[in-house]
Structure 1
Amino acid sequence: MDRFLLMTCFVRAVETGSFSAAGRQLGLGQPNVSRYVAALEDHLQTRLLHRSTRKLSLTPEGERYYAEVRRILDAVSESESTLRDNVSPSGLLRVACPTALAHTFVMPAVPAFLEAYPGVSLDLHISDSYINLVEEGAELAIRIGHLDDSALRSRRIGLFERVCVASQRYMSRKGRPTTPSDLAHHDCVVYTLLSSGTSWYFRHQAIEVSGRFRVNSPEAVQAAVDAGLGIGYGPRWLFADGLASGELEVILADDNPTPVPIQILYVANRLLPQRAVAFMDFIARAFAGIPALNVAATRKH
């Protein structure tokens, strides 16, 4: 039996969530798709999907196989497209992005991107959890910080400033820290998914912080700082409204760390689809017009 057909049926079943939807898309019908996926499992001697009356879900083996097969199908599609003239980007693009960056800057650009590329569908995975591009099915990941994985390549699309902030309400009760070391005696709003854990980095040192409120959402950090629950640490743009109104104030400004890069990452040895290149170019242009993401061009450090 055609292995390529079996793999295509499996991938479409995963991405649509059902054999029926995959059958409609492929013009094969639900019974054939179900039979072809079963044949693929029989060939591999491995269960790839958990089946229930309500949905399909991947087994651990299925997750690994899906990531590999998705790359194979993408490579075939991309190779074919290079033989055609004036072929527009098309297909499903998977992009992982940190929460605050996605909501503040990426989502506003999505409508224009989809309008510019009508053949592309975008699956935006918004999470501050680490996404392994080598093992998972995403083509691109937008990440904050420096690249430390030799299996990946990067394109820098922004540079922003991290600041330490406090509300006037908090400082009227607890006082104003004058050095980073003073933070040990203050309530700090702890963002639990920060890559450095409970360490806040400043220009010449890292400080372990603690506080009565911990949360896994950047927006909740911003809200807690606004409410006077403690001192916050994060991108200046996260606290922009409070800083503009005067309710918040940047503290320890002389100890600000060096600016932090924003990068789009992709797997070094993987053929990059046209849709991924188009997205990188589009987001790079969008970010280039945002002063908060280009601090080196507007502020000396």
Structure 2
Amino acid sequence: MLRLLREATGLIAFVRTVQTGSFSAAARSLGATPSSISKSISRLERLLGVHLFRRSTRLLAMTQEGEAFYDKIMPLLEQIDSSAETVQSYRAPAGHLRASLPSELGRMILEPIFTEFVPMYPEISLSVGMTDRHVDLLRENYDVAFRVGQVEQAGLMCKTLSHLDMTLVASPSFLRKHGDIESLGQLKNIPFARYVADGKPYPIGFVDGGSILPSGRIDLDSATAIRDAALSGVGAAHLIKRTVQDDLDRGLLVELLPHVKLQTVPFQAVHASGRLPSFRLQLFTDFIATLMRSSARE
């Protein structure tokens, strides 16, 4: 047992390589070099007397022995890692957090993060990415990603923080050109600035379970770009209502079919499966959850 504990570096390198899928990605997340990761794992393999990975120029896959070893060692390392978290609540929370926020909704969240969370926890530092792209938490070394919509990627733990109301909008200039929209049939025949993820357009869902796949005038991968397209009159748009409420109040956008109830979408905090959230991450997630709930009541 003591021999294995002396290879703690190899154990960590092995687990992180499994999680990230490559020596290079594991090295980036650990602040090491790919060669040092490979050498650490090789020393561990010699100690165990088995190959943990099948290596080739194009493939890095676990052997049967590697899978069995990972299943045993991963929970133990997590328990060791989480033991520090049990005492963190007795001191001021500190450390670094790397978070990903969706573009347009994130724009609304940033101000209270700056004015409330940062002053409240001066020992916590933040790196914040703003994108609607579904980041790879392990490969890109994110502690948490806040995402709109369902998360279908395996190996992730999700916590729903709120459900967001959606709306259909268009600019006054768009309506002057295409006429007032008074039925779902008309909705199917007008051009949209569509949200597209992984090459697939996002459907418009209704509370009754039905849906419409809008016809595309222009396809975009961020809510900010879709809002801009709607404001310019390029197309109608299906957006989170709170992100365009100010535009609606100012008359820059008009709500289409306000009597039709649209399906809400979940707003979720996502972190890698097998990683217990740190105390600072719990504080940050709880802050965002409280913020979303309070803004929903306004």
Could you state the TM-score of these two structures normalised by the residue count of structure 1?
0.69
2:65 is aligned to none
2:28 is aligned to 14
Cα drift, residue 283 of structure 1: 1.7
- Deviation track 1:214-245 (CA, whole Å, cap 9, x = no partner) reads 11121111111111111111111222332122
Instruction: Give the conservation status (yes or no) of the 8 Å contact 2:194–2:226.
Output: yes
Count matched residues: 266
1:92 aligned counterpart, secondary structure = strand
Is 1:289 paired with 2:294? yes
Cα drift, residue 165 of structure 1: 0.7
Q: Which region of structure 1 is more displaced relative to structure 2, 89-98 or 4-13? A: 4-13
Is 1:170 paired with 2:184? no
Cα drift, residue 129 of structure 1: 3.0
Is 1:233 paired with 2:238? yes
1:142 is aligned to 146
Cα drift, residue 125 of structure 1: 4.0
Identity across aligned pairs (percent)?
22
- Structure 1: 5+ residue stretches without partners: 20-33, 49-58, 62-67
Counterpart residue identity of residue 234, structure 2: L
Flag the 1:165–1:35 CA change in 2: closer, same or farther, 3 A.
Answer: closer
Flag the 1:228–1:35 CA change in 2: closer, same or farther, 3 A.
Answer: closer
Could you state the TM-score of these two structures normalised by the residue count of structure 2?
0.69
Flag the 1:114–1:187 CA change in 2: closer, same or farther, 3 A.
Answer: same
Cα drift, residue 188 of structure 1: 1.0
RMSD: 4.2
1:54 is aligned to none
Cα drift, residue 108 of structure 1: 4.2
1:277 is aligned to 282
2:250 is aligned to 245
Q: Provide the C-alpha distance between the structure 2 equivalents of 1:215 and 1:146, rounded to a whole number of angstroms.
A: 19
1:121 aligned counterpart, secondary structure = strand
Instruction: Give the conservation status (yes or no) of the 8 Å contact 1:78–1:274.
Output: no
- Deviation track 1:40-68 (CA, whole Å, cap 9, x = no partner) reads 153368799xxxxxxxxxx978xxxxxx9
Is 1:126 paired with 2:126? no
Instruction: Give the conservation status (yes or no) of the 8 Å contact 2:162–2:292.
Output: yes
Cα drift, residue 276 of structure 1: 1.6
- Structure 2: 5+ residue stretches without partners: 17-25, 46-50, 62-70
Q: Which region of structure 1 is more displaced relative to structure 2, 146-155 or 136-145? A: 146-155
Is 1:102 paired with 2:116? no
- Deviation track 1:263-284 (CA, whole Å, cap 9, x = no partner) reads 3244665422212211122222
Flag the 1:96–1:240 CA change in 2: closer, same or farther, 3 A.
Answer: same
Instruction: Give the conservation status (yes or no) of the 8 Å contact 2:9–2:40.
Output: no
Cα drift, residue 254 of structure 1: 1.1
Q: Provide the C-alpha distance between the structure 2 equivalents of 1:16 and 1:37, rounded to a whole number of angstroms.
A: 9
1:40 is aligned to 40
